[in-house]
Chain A
Amino acid sequence: MSIDDVRSPPPQYALRLKRALGGRAGWGGFALQVVFVIALAWIGYEIVANARANLETQRITSGFGFLRNTAGFDVSQTLIPYSGSDTYTRVFFVGLLNTLLVSVIGIFFATVIGFIVGLGRLSPNWLVSRVAGAYVELVRNLPLLFQILFWYLAVLAALPGPRQSISLFNSFFLSNRGLVIPRPLAEPGLDAFLIALLVAVVAALALRYYARRQLFQKGRAIDIWPYVLGLLVGLPLASWLIFGGPLSFEVPVLKGFNFAGGTRVIPEFVALTVALSTYTAAFIAEVVRAGILSVHKGQMEAGASLGLSRGATLRLIVVPQALRVILPPLTNQYLNLTKNSSLAVAIGYPDLVSVFAGTTLSQTGQAIEIIAITMGVYLLLSLVTSAIMSLYGWRLSRSLGQ
């Protein structure tokens, strides 16, 4: 008997609607929800209206018009062109980009260090596991603000002044004003060079795809790395020889108080990035360790009995399974790092909180608007980070066949 022969029950639309809207409580529950939503909206409206009315009676300027006003102050690190004659909107983006820069770079290094230390703690090598354990216990148990100040005031401020800076090849200079490096300048050969590099990368990827197919379908293992290396080095080199060099470098020179020319990494950025990534790495290391321990040790033994090395077993068998466990707490750590980057104010790094919720707020006095925008931005950043991690988690569980 096929399924089609069974007569389906009557649709019962009204009942379904009732279930969907009111849940088990039925229409009563639905009414309660409506009342709740209305009450919530009303409270929200009253909060806004009351605040507005009060601000107006006190003649405190409100609204978002200030965003179009001229800021009139400068910022030490800007990723987009900015000067004092730009608007507060631009200040907002300058601060946002500085926050994003320190967060992204911090997340990258925290992940790398965290994985290394986490795996190190599980290492059978006594010394490595003890050193990794000491690192975790030391770093995660000291307050973050203290660590930021330590890197800034105790380590970086102890470097010599710009006139006595430590130099490498007379083109890299390290001083208490930061690290000054030669600035790359585009030359006519740059376009050809980039195209050659792109072609080489695409060709290398195609080659890898081909080699994997050969391995999985015909069981033929091909060593592709000599070709890949040849492509990646050979093609750009050929373009260099034909079209000329892609870049020239502007070497910094000491002029007056500071270095002129070159690109500078300010010490505030270095101190903040180092402190954030080492601190978060300690937590990530614990997350990684817990994740790996959650994979049954039989998996490790199975790998060993197949003749795989310890490294290969970890990489191919254990870590992919552990990632499922690692991912949610790892996301937490990423969110923490992004939010902790607001401690930048303590050392004068111009992040969003410093230039927007700090300087802009005190110059315009519009606390409610600025705090609301800043809260919204951090919320959005956190939600986007979570979304990306969820997407990765979803792909991961799909590839593990769950």
Chain B
Amino acid sequence: MKRPFAMKRVPLLFTFALAAVFSVQAASAETLKTVKDRGMLSCGVSQGLPGFSSPDDKGNWTGLDVDVCRAIAAAIFDDPTKVKFVPLSAKDRFTALQSGEIDVLSRNTTWTLSRDTSLGANFTGVTYYDGQGFLVKKSLKVNSALELNSASVCVQTGTTTEQNLADYFKGNNMKYEVIAFQSADETVKAYESGRCDVFTSDVSQLYAERLKLANPADHVVLPEVISKEPLGPMVRHGDDQWFDIVKWTLFAMIDAEELGVTQKNVDEMAKSDKPDLKRAFGTDGNLGEQLGLTKDWFSRIVKAVGNYGESFDRNVGAGSKLQIARGLNQLWNKGGIQYAPPIR
């Protein structure tokens, strides 16, 4: 990998030593080239969160976050399998992105101002509009989060969840005890063993983790949603082309749903005469090439993972075990807020 910036400053030998000491990469505008040379996209995902990113019994990664990475790989290589998934804890995810270990972080990460500005990385969009909620045992007979005074709460460390929790209990003048764990698994285990009364996380995650419990029906997600958690992919600062590619891959999935293009009908739709479809499929103009990709980037993406709605249904929605309603994640013209700029 080239480090043009460091080269100017110090002789080769020291560059070598420094690369070992600090895995901080020089801002490189060549992520796309690096990915192509490697023949693989390196994508940071969670350590196993059903619906978003988790390996199945054969070791294949599936999920909404995984689909974003597969879509990027499809757009570049026309092959959604050319992705190396790197499982990361909440705590390690940003360091992995900063150090260049991964090309894109697609790991149910909440978009906040401080993360967007101080980490040397940018959010490229929102894959899932989430909010924080509480999971409790039915036997506690709690109906509202406002009844949780003096409860013990299990939470995963290094998340926005931890801070929202503090804000919420303080704002409602309630006391609580927080026990913070490194991984989601440890957190859920502690909740299940009775160390805590409550497990708090993004609502989607609560539904996903509930499936892992011994008896999911004994647990209930409380109605209160106490925060905004827009989850989205992240890329490093300093490479606008790569930023555009990741951003427009997600937009392409959302636009595909709006245009009615699905995994099944993609070949038929590609022959359509409608101007917006012609632009998207590259039969008119060269929008794909402007991104640094090929003309057929749009159909590659849809063929590989389907449109946003299909991916949602398959991973977290009606077609999955999680059974999460579209809600806010419905398209803007169907009552939700998912909205992508036009491909033109």
A354 interface neighbour in B5, B157, B176, B190, Cβ under 8 Å: B157
Q: How far is the CA of A268 from the CA of B182 in the complex (A)?
A: 14
Contact indicator per residue, chain A 66-87, by CB within 8 Å of chain B (1) or not (0)? 0000001111100000011100
A residues within 8 A CB of B149? 256-257
**Is there a chain A Cβ closer than 8 Å to B12's Cβ?**
no
A residues within 8 A CB of B180? 73, 75-76, 348, 350, 354-355, 359
Do the beta carbons of B178 and A76 come within 8 Å of each other?
A: yes
B98 interface neighbour in A57, A60, A83, Cβ under 8 Å: A60
Q: How far is the CA of A74 from the CA of B21 in the complex (A)?
A: 33
Give the size of the chain A interface in residues (CB under 8 angstroms). Answer: 51
Do the beta carbons of B177 and A258 come within 8 Å of each other?
A: yes
Do the beta carbons of A84 and B170 come within 8 Å of each other?
A: yes
Do the beta carbons of B179 and A363 come within 8 Å of each other?
A: no
A153 interface neighbour in B17, B22, B165, B193, Cβ under 8 Å: B193
Q: How far is the CA of A306 from the CA of B177 in the complex (A)?
A: 61
Scoring A55, A58, A350 by chain B CB atoms within 10 A of each residue's CB, the highest score goes to A58
Do the beta carbons of A58 and B98 come within 8 Å of each other?
A: yes
Considering the complex, which residues of chain A in the window 254-298 have a beta carbon less than 8 Å from any beta carbon of chain B? 255-258, 260, 267-268
Do the beta carbons of B150 and A257 come within 8 Å of each other?
A: yes
Closest approach, in angstroms, between the C-beta of A103 and any C-beta of chain B?
20
Do the beta carbons of A46 and B118 come within 8 Å of each other?
A: no
Segment of B89-97, B268-276, B285-293, B295-303 in the binding face = B89-97
Segment of A135-143, A183-191, A196-204, A364-372 in the binding face = A364-372
A161 interface neighbour in B94, B170, B194, Cβ under 8 Å: B194
Do the beta carbons of A365 and B24 come within 8 Å of each other?
A: no
B5 interface neighbour in A54, A348, A367, Cβ under 8 Å: A54
Determine the interface band of chain B, counting residues with CB < 8 A from chain A.
35 or more
**Is there a chain A Cβ closer than 8 Å to B27's Cβ?**
yes
Q: How far is the CA of A41 from the CA of B217 in the complex (A)?
A: 64
A75 interface neighbour in B140, B163, B178, Cβ under 8 Å: B178
Closest approach, in angstroms, between the C-beta of B231 and any C-beta of chain A?
16
A residues within 8 A CB of B182? 345-346, 348, 354, 358
Scoring B10, B151, B236 by chain A CB atoms within 10 A of each residue's CB, the highest score goes to B10
A residues within 8 A CB of B25? 54, 58
B residues within 8 A CB of A361? 91, 158
B10 interface neighbour in A50, A257, A267, A359, Cβ under 8 Å: A50
A residues within 8 A CB of B27? 54, 57-58
Do the beta carbons of B163 and A267 come within 8 Å of each other?
A: no
Do the beta carbons of A47 and B118 come within 8 Å of each other?
A: no
Do the beta carbons of A348 and B179 come within 8 Å of each other?
A: yes
Do the beta carbons of B178 and A258 come within 8 Å of each other?
A: no
| A interface residues with partner B (beta carbon < 8 Å) | 43, 46-47, 49-51, 53-55, 57-61, 72-76, 83-85, 153, 157, 161, 176-177, 255-258, 260, 267-268, 345-348, 350, 354-355, 358-359, 361-368
| B interface residues with partner A (beta carbon < 8 Å) | 5-6, 9-10, 14, 17-18, 21-22, 24-27, 90-95, 98, 114-115, 117-120, 140, 148-152, 157-159, 162-163, 165-167, 170, 176-182, 186, 189-190, 193-195, 197, 236-238
10 contacts between A and B (CB under 8 A): A51-B18, A60-B120, A73-B165, A157-B194, A256-B149, A257-B150, A258-B150, A348-B181, A354-B180, A362-B158
